[in-house]
Amino acid sequence: MHSPTLKHFILRQQVLNLYRDAVRASRVIPDPVTRKETVAWIRGEFERNRDLTDVHLIEHKLKVARRDIKYILPTISNKRS
C-alpha cells in the first residue's frame, strides 16, 4: 500500500464529517427502530468502504454518499458540500 498523501487526509476528514452529519440528521426520524436501522445502514456503508485507497474512487464514493444521504435524509445540512 502507498503511504497516504495530503489528499487522503483531506478526503478522510470529509468522509468523517459526512458520517457525523448523516448520523445527526437521522435524529429527526421519529420511530426509534427506523432510526436505529438507518444509522446501522449508514455505518455499514461507511465500514464497507473503509479500506479504499484510490483517491478518485474515494471522491466518487463521497459524491454518491452525499447524494444518497441527501435523498434519504433531506434534513442533512449542505454546509459541508
Question: CB of 75 within 8 A of CB of 28?
Answer: yes
DSSP 76: S
List pLDDT tens digits, range 1-40.
Answer: 578 899 999 999 999 999 999 999 899 889 999 999 999 9
Task: For residues 60 and 55, give the distance between their C-alpha atoms in angstroms, rounded to a whole number.
Answer: 9
Quick one: cell of 35?
A: 432510526
Q: What is the pLDDT at residue 80? A: 45
pLDDT higher than threshold 80 for residue 79: no
Percent of the chain scoring above 70 in pLDDT:
90
40-48: average pLDDT: 95
